[in-house]
Structure 1
Amino acid sequence: MNAPLGRRGFLAGASMLFLGACSKVADSSVGQSLFNSAEKWHQKIHRSLADRNALAREYDKSDISPFFRGNGSLTVGTPEYEAAIENQFADWRLEVRGLVSNPMSLSMDDIRALPQRTQITRHDCVEGWSAIGEWTGPQLSSILEAAGVQENGQFVVFRCADNLNGQDYYESVDMVDANHPQTIVAHMLNGEALPVINGAPLRVRIERQLGYKHAKYLTAIEVVDTLEDIAGGEGGYWEDRAGYQWYAGI
Structure 2
Amino acid sequence: MSRLIVNRRKFLVGSVALGSSLAMSGCSQFDFLGQRGNPVRQALEQANVLTYRAQRALIGDQVLAREYAESEIRQGQRPNGSTDPTTAEYLFLKQANFEPYRLTIKGMVDREISFSLAELRNMPARTQITRHDCVEGWSCIAKWTGTPLGPVLDQAGVKPAARYCVYHCYDNIQRGLSGDILYYTSSDLVDAYHPQTILSYGLNDAVLPVSNGAPVRLRIERALGYKQPKYLHTIELVDDLSPFGGGKGGYWEDNGYDWYGGI
User: TM-score scaled by structure 2?
Assistant: 0.88
What is the one-letter code of the residue matched to 1:10? N
Q: How does 1:1-250 map to 2 (within 5 A)?
A: 6-23=3-20, 24=22, 25=30, 26-27=33-34, 29-166=38-175, 167-240=181-254, 242-250=255-263
1:144 deviation in Å? 0.8
Q: More deviation in 90-99 or 22-31?
A: 22-31
Identity %: 43
Counterparts of 2:156 and 2:195 in 1: how far apart (Å)? Answer: 17
1:206 deviation in Å? 0.5
Question: RMSD across aligned C-alpha pairs, in angstroms?
Answer: 1.7
Counterparts of 1:213 and 1:31 in 2: how far apart (Å)? Answer: 25
* Regions of 4+ moved over 4 Å: 4-7
1:5 deviation in Å? 5.2
Aligned length: 246
1:149 deviation in Å? 0.2
1:123 deviation in Å? 0.5
Contact map agreement 2:165 2:186 (CA 8 A) in 1: yes
Counterparts of 2:240 and 2:46 in 1: how far apart (Å)? Answer: 19
1:46 deviation in Å? 1.3
Alpha-carbon distance change, 50 to 5 in structure 1, aligned in 2, over 3 angstroms: closer
1:14 deviation in Å? 2.7
Q: Write the deviation string for residues 114-141 of structure 1: whole angstroms up to 9, x where unpaired.
A: 1111110000001111101111111111
Q: Write the deviation string for residues 81-126 of structure 1: whole angstroms up to 9, x where unpaired.
A: 2332232211111011011112111000110111111110000001
Q: More deviation in 197-206 or 32-41?
A: 32-41
Counterparts of 1:148 and 1:56 in 2: how far apart (Å)? Answer: 27
- Please, which runs of 5 or more residues in structure 1 have no aligned partner? none
User: TM-score scaled by structure 1?
Assistant: 0.93
| 1:18 partner SS | helix
Counterparts of 1:22 and 1:33 in 2: how far apart (Å)? Answer: 16
Contact map agreement 1:118 1:136 (CA 8 A) in 2: yes
Alpha-carbon distance change, 34 to 19 in structure 1, aligned in 2, over 3 angstroms: farther
| 1:67 partner SS | coil
